[in-house]
């Protein structure tokens, strides 16, 4: 469930990433690889977040997210 949720979030950001200069190259293969890596990393983060949430680490999860957003 967590993987699907995070992949949904990542996929909504990926089309913008495909056409942005942040990808660093005009090569479509490089951009495609970049987006696939982004999805895989997002799925890993999502599954870890979901595991933390299911096991009662809600406060720690929110504290970590807040720290990442503010630093």
**Stated pTM of the model:** 0.40
Q: Which two tokens stand for residue 52?
A: 């933390």
Q: What is the pLDDT of residues 37-62, one digit of tens each?
A: 777 777 777 777 777 767 766 666 66
CA 71/CA 67 separation, integer angstroms: 6
Helix pair angle (28-54, 58-70), 10° resolution:
140
Q: What percent of the chain has pLDDT over 90?
A: 0
CB environment 15-35: b (16+ within 10 A), e (fewer): eeeeeeeebeeeeeeebeebb
């Amino acid at each position: 469930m967590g993987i699907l949720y995070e992949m949904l979030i990542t996929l909504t950001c990926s089309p913008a990433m495909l056409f942005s200069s942040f990808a660093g190259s005009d090569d479509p293969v490089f951009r495609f690889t970049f987006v696939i890596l982004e999805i895989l990393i997002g799925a890993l983060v999502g599954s870890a977040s979901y595991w933390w949430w299911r096991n009662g680490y809600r406060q720690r999860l929110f504290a970590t997210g807040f720290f990442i957003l503010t630093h």
